[in-house]
């Protein structure tokens, strides 16, 4: 299954943010989406999952046009997102959050164990009372533990301690190994360079550069793009 965006446009009300974005994520690859704050990365993720309406262009999942399909059907078709913000129901328990994401109680132990001991046994705690990093891990674990074939991860390492960044990297690599496709929005180039197969640079709602892992001078080029 392949996820494709063709000339995707989107924005908020009358304010356009994405001005025709085209790229794709195939199964078995990690595509890093990098760009400065406000470049439109989150907007792109929210448009891909269907929370923002595409004002132009097309989205295709496994060949089928899903541009006008509601989010819940995209999810059932194999797409899954872990959002940068508001990624959990903060008033609900950790267990209820997992149930809502489609994980039956029998699976909760496995999902919560994905990041070592940090989340283990926290099912009854209210999600909003987890620390920022723990919330990110829970959202990431919930997406990774799903059966989705394409994962959209919006800055999953934000606020994570280095050891957990490592665990997350391993989990993403495993997802790729399982033949899933990952769009990884990432500010930390080191992790992106370590993991990703391909790179897409977004600037002011347009793709201004792309690259492939192992390309000569890629790291310098990307950090140049992200610098002021």
Partner 1 sequence: MDALTLELLNGLSLFATLAIVALGLGIVFGLMGIINLAHGEFVMIGAYVAYVTHANGLSHWLSLPLAAVVLFVLGACIEVGLIRRIHRRPEVTILATFGLSICLRQAVELIFTKDFRGVPNPVPGATRALGVLFPTYRYVLIGIAVVVVVVTLLAFTRSRFGLTVRAIVADRDLADACGVRTGIANFCAFGIGAATAGIAGALVAPLGAIEPQAGLAYLPGAFLVVIVGGFNRLWGVIAGALVVAAVQTGVIHFYDAVWAQIASLALAVLMLQLRRVPVEAANP
Q: Which residues bind partner 1 (CB under 8 A)?
A: 49-51, 70-72, 75-76, 81, 83, 86-89, 91-92, 96, 99-102
Q: Are 27 and 1 in contact (CB under 8 A)?
A: yes
Q: Is 10 in the site for Mg ion (CB under 5 A)?
A: no
Among 14, 15, 63, 228, binds ligand ADP (CB under 6 A): 15
Task: Give the gyration radius of the chain's Cα atoms.
Answer: 17
Rounded to 10 deg, the angle between the 132-144 and 162-177 helix axes is 10
Give me the least distance between CB of 188 and partner 1, in Å please: 24
- Residue tagged 């993403």 (tokens): 172
Q: Which of 21, 167 has the CB closer to ligand ADP?
A: 21
Give me the least distance between CB of 222 and partner 1, in Å please: 29
Q: Are 62 and 1 in contact (CB under 8 A)?
A: yes
Q: Which does 88 bind (CB under 5 to 8 A by kind): Mg ion, ligand ADP, partner 1, none?
A: partner 1
- 6/26 Cα distance (integer angstroms): 14
Q: Which of 20, 95 has the CB closer to partner 1?
A: 95
Q: Could you say which residues in the range 33-62 bind Mg ion, by CB under 5 A?
A: 41-42
What is the token pair recorded at 102?
Answer: 């489609």
Q: Which of 75, 173 has the CB closer to partner 1?
A: 75
Give me the least distance between CB of 94 and partner 1, in Å please: 13
Q: Which does 106 bind (CB under 5 to 8 A by kind): partner 1, ligand ADP, Mg ion, none?
A: none
* Short-list 199, 135, 141, CA closest to 168: 141
**Which residues have CB under 8 Å from 20's CB, separation 6+?**
7, 8, 9, 56, 57, 206
Q: Count the site residues for ligand ADP by CB under 6 A.
A: 11
Polymer length of the chain = 228
What distance lies between CA 155 and its chain's CA centroid? 7
Give me the least distance between CB of 89 and partner 1, in Å please: 5
Does an H or E element contain 111, and which?
Answer: helix 105-112
Give me the least distance between CB of 118 and partner 1, in Å please: 22
DSSP 201: E
Give me the least distance between CB of 81 and ligand ADP, in Å please: 13
**Which residues have CB under 8 Å from 173's CB, separation 6+?**
30, 195
Among 7, 22, 38, 129, binds ligand ADP (CB under 6 A): 38
Q: Which does 15 bind (CB under 5 to 8 A by kind): Mg ion, ligand ADP, partner 1, none?
A: ligand ADP
Residues near Mg ion, by CB under 5 A: 41-42, 84
């Amino acid at each position: 299954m392949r996820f494709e965006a063709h000339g995707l446009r989107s924005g908020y009300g009358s304010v356009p943010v994405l001005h025709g974005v085209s790229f794709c994520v195939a199964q078995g690859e990690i595509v890093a989406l990098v760009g400065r704050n406000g470049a439109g990365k989150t907007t792109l993720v929210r448009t891909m999952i269907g929370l923002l309406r595409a004002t132009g262009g097309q989205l295709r999942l496994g060949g089928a046009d899903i541009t006008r399909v509601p989010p819940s059907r995209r999810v059932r078709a194999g797409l899954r997102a872990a959002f940068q913000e508001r990624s959990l129901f903060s008033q609900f328990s950790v267990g209820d959050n997992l149930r809502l994401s489609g994980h039956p109680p029998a699976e909760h132990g496995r999902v919560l164990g994905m990041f070592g001991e940090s989340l283990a046994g926290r099912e009854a705690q209210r999600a909003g009372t987890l620390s920022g990093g723990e919330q990110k891990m829970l959202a990431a674990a919930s997406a990774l533990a799903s059966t989705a074939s394409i994962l959209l991860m919006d800055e999953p390492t934000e606020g994570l301690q280095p050891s957990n960044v490592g665990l997350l990297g391993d989990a993403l690599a495993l997802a790729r190994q399982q033949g899933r496709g990952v769009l990884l929005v990432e500010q930390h180039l080191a992790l992106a360079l370590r993991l990703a197969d391909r790179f897409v640079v977004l600037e002011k709602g347009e793709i201004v550069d792309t690259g492939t892992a192992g390309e000569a001078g890629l790291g310098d080029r990307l950090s140049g793009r992200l610098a002021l």
